[in-house]
Amino acid sequence: MERTMDWARLPYFLAVARTGSLRAAAETVGGTHATVDRNLKALEATYGVRLFDRSKSGLSLTSAGAALVPMAEAAEDAVIAGRRRLQGLDREASGTVRLSVPTPFGSLILPEILARFARAYPEIELDIAVTNRIEDITRSETDVSVRVAFHVDDDVVGRKVLDYAVGLYASPAYLDRSFAQAGPKGEGLQWVGWGSSTSEAEWVRDSPFPKAALRYKVRSPSMIVHMTRAGLGMSYLPHWVAHDVPDLVPVPGTDFKLDRAIWLLLHSDLQRTTRVRLLVDHLAAELRKLRPVFLGPLA
């Protein structure tokens, strides 16, 4: 009987192995650090070995713990696969679909699209995560993911919906104040750019204004939009973002270019699930209707 409890305790073991901390593991599994610690100690007592070395800096795997990790992950994969296989047998237009979307989509594009979906399928509930973290479909963190990327390498079903255009934008007030006095390569101008990017120097160098200063490095796409709108500088923005935000105009003398694509991703076992298929089909059709907004002058 005691051995059967291993299945219930393995998620706690994996959470600690992946995070190195009781508190971080508790956040992952949705429990308390005391619950995590209790299950770890019970698992160690059952196996008769120490799985972790404990220190002030956290928990590290022992050789026995390291040997258990691949077997615990195989058990986890089997449980996830079984859940997905059963979900895939569902033929009803009801139940819950977990949807993950990046932050700009959550506020600017999807609310009206999802409102139409809700009216068409009132029995389907949506659990929506608005995040720039790429949630893992293979680990069952989400059912459907809207992804913005050049390509998708995940072992999932990926539907490329459409490409989108980006352009160089600023506020009219910023252009009136700074553009006329700027040098031919952007001397005197300022960038609002993505924070901590390893390719910053490259994209600044390849821009029409390589001498403009990268004064603001921001880790939030939404904040980049609002800082640009507030007149703090210029930034590359998707046309569909600027289309819905007042007080943003293209920087004179610059062109639009194709950037990444919008993808809809789901696990292969879920493509037979009615509620998931309905949501994916609805999102794809609605997003494609907005092709002129996504492509702008390149449409």
21/137 Cα distance (integer angstroms) = 24
The verdict on 132 and 118 lying in the same domain is yes
Alpha-carbon span 249 to 230, nearest angstrom:
12
Q: How far is CA 89 from CA 184, 273, 276, in A?
A: 62, 6, 12
For CA atoms 138, 142, 145, 149, the dihedral sign is: negative
Q: Which of residues 88, 105, 136 is at a domain's end?
A: 88
This prediction has a pTM of 0.65
Domain with residue 181: its CATH number is: 3.40.190.10
Judgement on whether residues 154 and 191 belong to the same structural domain of the protein = no
Amino acid found at 186: G
143 and 228 belong to one structural domain: no
Q: Which of 151-160, 193-202, 218-227 has the lowest mean pLDDT?
A: 193-202
Residues 222, 74 share a domain: no
Q: Which of 43, 50, 55 is nearest to 65 (CA)?
A: 50
> Do 187 and 126 share a structural domain?
no
Residue 36, φ and ψ in degrees, nearest 5: -60, -50
Pair (26, 77) in one structural domain: yes
List the CATH number of the domain containing 54.
1.10.10.10
Token pair 């809207």 is found at 146
User: 89 exposed, middle or buried (CB, 10 Å; 0-12, 13-18, 19+)?
Assistant: exposed
- C-alpha distances out from residue 182 to 28, 187, 209, 229, 298, Å: 50, 5, 10, 19, 28
Q: Do 187 and 65 lie in a common domain? A: no
The residue range of the domain holding 74 is 3-88
pLDDT band for position 170 (cuts 50, 70, 90): very high
pLDDT at 199 over 60: no
**196-224: average pLDDT:** 82
What tokens appear for 132 in the block? 């720039």
Q: What is the pLDDT of residue 196?
A: 61
Same domain? For 264 and 158 the reply is yes
End-of-domain residue from the set 88, 112, 130: 88
Is 124 found in the same domain as 12?
no
Compute φ and ψ for 20, nearest 5 degrees. 75, 15
Same domain, 155 and 171: no
SS3 197: coil
- Out of 26, 56, 88, pick the residue that ends a domain: 88
pLDDT for the residue 9:
87
Contact (CB, 8 A) for 168 and 250: yes
The whole-number pLDDT of residue 288 equals 93
Backbone angles phi, psi at 96, to 5 degrees: -110, 140
Q: What does the pLDDT read at residue 259?
A: 86
Q: Rounded distance, CA 157 to CA 299, Å? A: 27
Say how many domains are in the chain: 3
**Strand (E) positions, the chain?**
52-55, 58-61, 95-101, 124-130, 144-149, 157-170, 190-194, 213-218, 235-238, 249-250, 257-266
Q: What is the DSSP letter of 270?
A: G
Asked whether the predicted pLDDT for residue 1 surpasses 50, the reply is: no
What was the pLDDT predicted at 274?
86
Q: What is the pLDDT of residues 95-116, one digit of tens each?
A: 889 998 888 787 788 999 999 9
174/249 same-domain check:
yes
Q: Which amino acid is at 41?
A: K
In a shared domain, residues 100 and 152: yes
Q: To the nearest whole percent, how much of the chain has pLDDT over 90?
A: 39
Mean of per-residue pLDDT scores for the chain: 85
Cβ pair 276, 159 in contact under 8 A: no
pLDDT at 3 over 80: no
Strand (E) or helix (H) holding 274: helix 274-289
